Structure 1
């Protein structure tokens, strides 16, 4: 059977070549000199070559020893590269981040944040769950994700939180709708009398609008998709309430009209995580990226 290459002895032999003595090499590798000498002699016996000329003044590489050291330098460099890469990769995997985000954040904002996170941590593979704000909170609470992003004014008090930005809702209608011609803001009472296409209960959009309206709205169509709401509003089913970011293209193209209202429809974008739990480095980076992006308007 062909003997295996002893990597530790190669490291020892390389140290002897660099320091000129077995004793100095042994100290560098935290070995006793007798143990180092025995290891080198066993290596020579195993491979049936002499790698050192030993003398009272020190140890000198033989011609065979020079060849072995030359090969060892290349091999050990590659092994160290592989080892460092594996450690870095393993650390990135351990610091991976599972994120739950409500629809507006996930569709319109989070992709830019995740792209920046990937730029800073190329080996990271975040996992994203797109759900409504209530479900985000539930997933964080159940430890199913490391971090959540919600778009509601009603953040559960049992979760740690940090506001990372703000968003604003808009009431939009088809150009033929009577409200499309309004120049003065609709009052709360006028809005309370409307019939709407809205997100499902538990969404941040729905809860923000209900809080501003101070009344349960009359809903003629309920959908978990922003695109479905916009399509329904454009078709004349009723006014829709969506993020201004989500409706910008439809308004610019003239398919929908933003209705002025007297309501405060601004809402915070909030990162949430379990109390008394330290965020991983990757999750902390994502919160920082979100905060920085909001400050710069990105």
Structure 2
């Protein structure tokens, strides 16, 4: 019987069950009433049981018909789903880039890189994880990341990982535009410590360079500073208070260029941190990683050209009147 019952039997039975009338079922199916009656008779003959009782007041399902109705509805729904799948084929699986980045990088060069990647690979997805450099290296080695934008580490921790240098990033001290320290021509490191500090956590490269800067002046980072990897929190603390945010330059670049933060005229010597693309040195190249690498090279090259242009630009002369005001 399974091989002989087909969907026209089921659809005919469902039309009668819903209309409770053979004539109206025929109209619903766009068939003649004798054709519907014949199909129902075939189904009842195959099942060897009466499914519908017909009388003066229409058609009524028998107990066997009521039992069959529950399964017939499921068959109809399955057929509709199958037809829908044929009309709308399943899209090919989306390629997803598993990307890691330092928090300071994620708010610096990375947004523009991801925008360009979206333009060139509109059907690709990105899963971004921000973490410390050590955590990024561990995730790369474990295969949880395809690539990461981070810093060169000790040779012992870089085994199996290749590093492509993108740029060297200095540390800056960023404060709100009307910060008291900006009134001093060249504030001292001692003067900086008179204000709350926002710094990277202990053990990170930016913090090591921060500690080295104060050590060189026989000073140290106070214990009541705010340590955070969150760029969003750090920048808001600097913008809303007298806190001094000591950070890699790219993390604060947008705020500095828009004038929402200002750079203190203090140079943190020998604190340029090499930032680059980290990826496993073994295995086949991944298309999305190669695409991102090309974009990062373009952006850093353009940025280096802008920096060179700024360096060649002559300084504007300061009038005597403006000097007296200062």
Report the CA distance between 1:112 and its aligned residue: 1.8
Report the CA distance between 1:100 and its aligned residue: 0.6
The separation in 2 between residues aligned to 1:171 and 1:190, in whole angstroms, is: 13
2:65 maps to which residue?
none
1:295 to 292, 301, 306: 301
2:272 to 259, 263, 266: 266
Structure 1, residues 37-84: CA drift from partner, whole Å, max 9, x if none? xxxxxxxxxxxxxxxxxxxxxxxxxxxxxxxxxxxxxxxxxx9xx8xx
Are the aligned partners of 1:174 and 1:180 in contact in 2 as well (CA < 8 Å)?
Answer: no
Do the aligned partners of residues 114 and 202 (structure 1) sit closer, same or farther apart at CA in structure 2, a change above 3 Å counting?
A: farther
Report the CA distance between 1:148 and its aligned residue: 0.7
Are the aligned partners of 1:197 and 1:240 in contact in 2 as well (CA < 8 Å)?
Answer: yes
The separation in 2 between residues aligned to 1:175 and 1:289, in whole angstroms, is: 33
The separation in 2 between residues aligned to 1:140 and 1:257, in whole angstroms, is: 36
Residue 222 of structure 2 corresponds to residue 218 of structure 1: yes
Root-mean-square deviation over aligned CA pairs: 3.6
The separation in 2 between residues aligned to 1:170 and 1:284, in whole angstroms, is: 31
Q: Kindly tell me the number of residue pairs found equivalent between the two proteins.
A: 211
1:182 maps to which residue?
184
1:105 maps to which residue?
105
Report the CA distance between 1:253 and its aligned residue: 6.3
SS of equivalent to 2:108: helix
Are the aligned partners of 1:98 and 1:146 in contact in 2 as well (CA < 8 Å)?
Answer: yes
Structure 1, residues 7-57: CA drift from partner, whole Å, max 9, x if none? xxxxxxxxxxxxxxxxxxxxxxxxxxxxxxxxxxxxxxxxxxxxxxxxxxx
Are the aligned partners of 1:99 and 1:146 in contact in 2 as well (CA < 8 Å)?
Answer: yes
2:171 to 169, 172, 180: 169
Q: TM-score, normalised by structure 2?
A: 0.53
Report the CA distance between 1:164 and its aligned residue: 1.7
Greater Rg over alpha carbons, structure: 2
Within-5 A mapping of 1:91-240: 93=95, 96-150=96-150, 152=151, 154=153, 156-158=157-159, 159-174=161-176, 177-184=179-186, 186=188, 196-213=197-214, 217-219=221-223, 220-236=225-241, 238-240=243-245
Do the aligned partners of residues 124 and 199 (structure 1) sit closer, same or farther apart at CA in structure 2, a change above 3 Å counting?
A: same
Report the CA distance between 1:172 and its aligned residue: 2.0
Unaligned stretches of 5+ in structure 2?
A: 5-85, 305-326
Do the aligned partners of residues 177 and 279 (structure 1) sit closer, same or farther apart at CA in structure 2, a change above 3 Å counting?
A: same
Report the CA distance between 1:210 and its aligned residue: 3.7
Report the CA distance between 1:246 and its aligned residue: 3.7
Report the CA distance between 1:132 and its aligned residue: 2.6
SS of equivalent to 1:297: helix
Unaligned stretches of 5+ in structure 1?
A: 3-78
The separation in 1 between residues aligned to 2:149 and 2:259, in whole angstroms, is: 31
Report the CA distance between 1:105 and its aligned residue: 1.7
